[in-house]
Amino acid sequence: MSNKKKEPDFQKEAHLKVLKTFAGAVLWLDEEGKIIHASAPFIDLFSLDKKSVEGSNWTDIDTGFSQTAFDQMWNKLCQDDFADWHTTLQFAGQKKHQVLVEGRIVQNDLCEFVCLRVSNIEKSETQRQLLNILTKSTKSAAWKWNLINGNFSITDSFFHLFSIPIKKYEDESTNIIKLLKPLLSWDQFEELRSKILRLGEQQKRLTFSWSPIINGVPKKIILDAFPTFKDDKRIEINGTIRQADRKLKRERLNAIASTALEQSSNLVLIIDEDFNIVHANEFALENLDLQKTDLDNGLSIFKVDIEQSLGQWKKNLKKLQIEKNLSLVTSFQRKEATIFPVELNVIHYQDFHGHLICIIGKDVSENRKKESFLKSKLIDQTSTSRQLKEKSDYLVNESSKHFKLDKIVSISKKYQSVLAKVKQVAPTLSTVLIEGETGTGKELVARAIHQLSSQANRTMIKVNCGNIPKELIESELLGHEEGAFAGAIEQKKGRFELADKSTLFLDEIGEMPMQMQTRLLRVMQEGNLKRVGGTETIQVDIRIIAATNQNLKAMVKEGTFREDLYYRLNVFPIYNIPLRERKEDVKLLAYHFLGLYNKKMNRQIRYIEKNDLERLIAYDFPGNIRELENIIEHSVILTTGATLSLDSWQQNSSSTFNEEAKMLIKKSQKTH
């Protein structure tokens, strides 16, 4: 993953502030050493043309720097935040300039740009005063020792650095060794003296550090020294002295933070940009049942996080690069396969080496148990009100589905005989068995029977026996008492009780398990029931209307449906004929559904082509009225004019067509 950024826009207010902070002769360089900005004081200092400088490389003007040396300097800046050195600059067609260079990383997206402040140490006293000001602001001092005439000079910031009175040391009796003697132990003094006097024989640079007590506090001081040669003779030593307490403080804080994470009672994981766990604290290793050797083989985070996929973690990484931290809830899996819930705080870290992700996780298993307990208590306290609300919501939902006989669309003579039976049986409250193929409208017939009965002012309760798992259907129909089985945290009334003094419509009765058939028969015979796990006998007065698309007689012979229940249900059978036997209703139903979906989708489709109607009438409709409705619904979605288009309907692929219709209607409902 690259951390390369575009060049800074120096017109932005944030960057202008940085430029003001780094006053003086300043250059901005990118990671390759390219000069991307030169300040006006720099141009004036060396009498240059701005265009000739910007775009060139630092190694073009620094005679002592190779690209390798620049890369080393860059790495040092990224590590220490500050570096300074003496060097020689030479611009095209000009003489050489002895300069002091101070480098700092600009906090602009992690080691992206370096700012170099250049001071010409051969200039006049005015320039030296400027050097004093600059070095003071950076907690550093610059010094120069002429080995030919013995002259020695140092910036005033030296005295500020060590909190001692300012003195002038311009005479021959003073040099850097003597100046520092009071601030060094005897061994340190001898070591520094020896190294400075031999500087240039083997080493071309000296770095010496120690920690004197300044104002009662130990401060780390670093001295750098560079020899200058002429005709292979050492003539001068230049150098800097700086305070490195900022780095020490940072290292100490980092150490404290690292120790805190290692000893934390949270799970701490570090993952690399390939999503491998490269480090885990002791708490994480213990709780995940891992050994440190498990991490050596590239343990993927996906072996631990069983919910977040690779794609999700990639999305997380993109978010982290913007938001810096992220909160997640997921599940961790231990090595021995047990799973526990965790809340994660995910932190992104990036430097010039790449990306790392720090995960701080908290096991929330106990919290979940407490929440579950509190929820259980709350449910216990409000069970009565919830039961009443559940019944109210169900009845309101069912009451919104009322149908009347005049809502049944038909002009078929064959279907008029079906409607005549509906009118005959409705007032009697007798049990009715509605048989017919899928999609013929058996529920519509059942609702018509209910609406024409004396129970019309009560809600008909519907149960689809094929949609309820066999292990739950007994509880769904009979209800259950609190604690009757695992998960029964409160009392619940069944559909039989909800249908008291009303009609219970049992759709897909052929799918009812044998055990439940026995329970249903007993309720129909005795007019009472007991809830699952209960002892109280509850009286109910229910009219049963059952419907099926199966041959119950054949199922009785096969032993998959109780014979006695069959005869209890088959008191008044009604066969709901398929659409292919009522062809004259196809056109009427097609226009009925066209009007319905015009209103639902806010369309103005008025006509159906004659040849399309003929195609519909000629089709056998194995899915019956439901299939016709799907065809019209699908076509309304695709039609843009005033005439319905059935071009996309192919008679031999109606099932696929129906599935497409279901998907398209969802999209259409969002639009309208």
Mean pLDDT score, 190-194: 91
Mean pLDDT score, 666-670: 45
Which phi and psi (to 5°) does residue 243 adopt? Answer: -95, 130
Q: Using an 8 Å Cβ cutoff, are 449 and 405 in contact?
A: no
Token pair in block for residue 530: 């007991």
Q: Is the pLDDT assigned to residue 394 strictly greater than 70?
A: no
**Higher per-residue confidence, 49 vs 85:** 49
Confidence band, pLDDT 50/70/90 cuts, at residue 633: very high
Against a cut of 0.75, is the pTM above it? no
pLDDT score of 435: 96
Report strand pairing: 542-548 vs 502-507: parallel
In the predicted model, what is the mean pLDDT of the chain? Answer: 79
Classify residue 597 as exposed, middle or buried by CB count within 10 Å of its CB (0-12, 13-18, 19+).
buried
Q: What do you get for the CA distance between the two ends of the chain, in Å?
A: 45
Q: Is the pLDDT assigned to residue 202 strictly greater than 90?
A: no
pLDDT score of 628: 93
Per-residue pLDDT reduced to its tens digit, 587-627: 999 999 999 999 999 999 999 988 999 999 999 999 999 99
Beta strand ranges found along 30-151 (DSSP E): 35-38, 82-90, 96-106, 113-120, 140-146
Place of tokens 């990224």: 78
486 C-beta neighbours (distance < 10 Å), count: 6
Which phi and psi (to 5°) does residue 86 adopt? Answer: -95, 140
Token pair in block for residue 463: 């149960």
Q: Which residues contact 5 (CB under 8 A, 6 or more apart)?
A: 109, 112
Per-residue pLDDT reduced to its tens digit, 356-368: 888 888 888 777 6
Confidence band, pLDDT 50/70/90 cuts, at residue 159: confident
**Higher per-residue confidence, 67 vs 466:** 466
Mean pLDDT score, 272-289: 86
Q: Is the pLDDT assigned to residue 447 strictly greater than 80?
A: yes
pLDDT score of 45: 83
Calculate the CA 222 to chain-centre distance. 47
pLDDT score of 374: 62
pLDDT score of 623: 92
Confidence band, pLDDT 50/70/90 cuts, at residue 328: confident
- Determine which helix (DSSP H) or strand (DSSP E) holds 74, and give its type and residue range: helix 67-80
SS3 label, residue 477: helix
Q: Using an 8 Å Cβ cutoff, are 114 and 74 in contact?
A: yes
pLDDT score of 163: 83
* CA-closest candidate to residue 117, choices 225, 42, 34: 42
pLDDT score of 125: 43
Q: Using an 8 Å Cβ cutoff, are 327 and 345 in contact?
A: yes
Mean pLDDT score, 296-310: 81
Confidence band, pLDDT 50/70/90 cuts, at residue 9: low
Mean pLDDT score, 508-513: 92
Per-residue pLDDT reduced to its tens digit, 649-666: 876 554 444 555 445 444
Confidence band, pLDDT 50/70/90 cuts, at residue 369: low
Confidence band, pLDDT 50/70/90 cuts, at residue 112: low
Confidence band, pLDDT 50/70/90 cuts, at residue 127: very low
pLDDT score of 624: 93
Q: Pick the range with the lowest mean pLDDT from 142-151, 176-185, 329-338, 392-401.
A: 392-401
Classify residue 605 as exposed, middle or buried by CB count within 10 Å of its CB (0-12, 13-18, 19+).
buried
- % pLDDT > 70, the chain: 78
pLDDT score of 669: 43
Confidence band, pLDDT 50/70/90 cuts, at residue 200: confident
**Higher per-residue confidence, 23 vs 424:** 424
Report strand pairing: 339-351 vs 325-333: antiparallel
Mean pLDDT score, 381-387: 53
Mean pLDDT score, 408-436: 92
Q: Pick the range with the lowest mean pLDDT from 26-30, 248-252, 556-560, 668-672.
A: 668-672
Token pair in block for residue 515: 């055990």
Mean pLDDT score, 300-314: 82
Mean pLDDT score, 411-432: 92
pLDDT score of 109: 45
Domains annotated on the chain, with CATH: 13-247 (3.30.450.20), 263-363 (3.30.450.20), 377-575 (3.40.50.300), 580-671 (1.10.8.60)
pLDDT score of 585: 92
Mean pLDDT score, 420-447: 93
Confidence band, pLDDT 50/70/90 cuts, at residue 377: low
- % pLDDT > 90, the chain: 25
**Angstrom distance (rounded) from CA 74 to CA 67:** 10
pLDDT score of 148: 77
Q: Is the pLDDT assigned to residue 68 strictly greater than 60?
A: yes
